[in-house]
């Protein structure tokens, strides 16, 4: 399982709803097999995507699936740029009706944050070798 360990404590930024410090064993396995790739999405892009989705589809997505929405938008724009037509599938779960941090987004109080690589290395160094 990919993880930063139980002692890892992330900084107090919103991160679009995600606070889990690891990745599910099945997801870790298919990543190791090369069947999927992992990527990151900054929280402002996540909120931008969620707002675009809500305005387009009439559904207010929860922050967690908004990561997938952001990647789906990236993929759609890439297809448009390349002149290709592809089916793009993502999972939408939950709704964002009670996401209180959204007020910070609309007030321009949220900022993107890139966690320092040396901090990630320190977290990983404390994990047992399996």
Is residue 107 a contact partner of residue 47, using CB atoms and an 8 Å limit?
Answer: no
Spatial separation of the C-alpha atoms in residues 109 and 96, rounded to whole Å: 18
Is residue 30 a contact partner of residue 36, using CB atoms and an 8 Å limit?
Answer: yes
32 DSSP assignment = H
- What global pTM score does this model have? 0.75
Does position 114 have pLDDT exceeding 70, yes or no? yes
What residue spans define the domains of the chain? 15-112
**pLDDT score, position 97:** 74
Does position 16 have pLDDT exceeding 60, yes or no? no
Spatial separation of the C-alpha atoms in residues 72 and 77, rounded to whole Å: 9
CATH number of 15-112: 3.40.50.1100
Dump pLDDT digits (tens) for 96-109. 776 666 778 888 88
Question: In what helix (H) or strand (E) does residue 50 lie, and over which residues does it extend?
Answer: helix 43-57
Dump pLDDT digits (tens) for 51-74. 999 999 999 998 888 999 999 999
């Amino acid at each position: 399982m990919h993880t930063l360990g139980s002692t890892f404590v992330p900084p107090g930024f919103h991160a679009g709803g995600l606070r889990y410090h690891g990745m599910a064993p099945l997801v870790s396995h298919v990543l190791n097999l090369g069947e999927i790739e992992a990527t990151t999405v900054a929280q402002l892009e996540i909120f931008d995507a969620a707002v675009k989705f809500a305005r387009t589809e009439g559904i207010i997505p929860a922050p967690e699936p908004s990561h997938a929405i952001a990647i789906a938008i990236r993929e759609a724009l890439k297809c448009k740029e390349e002149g290709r037509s592809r089916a793009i599938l993502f999972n939408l779960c939950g709704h964002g009706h009670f996401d209180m941090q959204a007020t910070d987004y609309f007030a321009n109080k949220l900022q993107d944050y890139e966690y320092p690589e040396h901090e990630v290395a320190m977290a990983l160094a404390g994990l047992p070798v399996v």
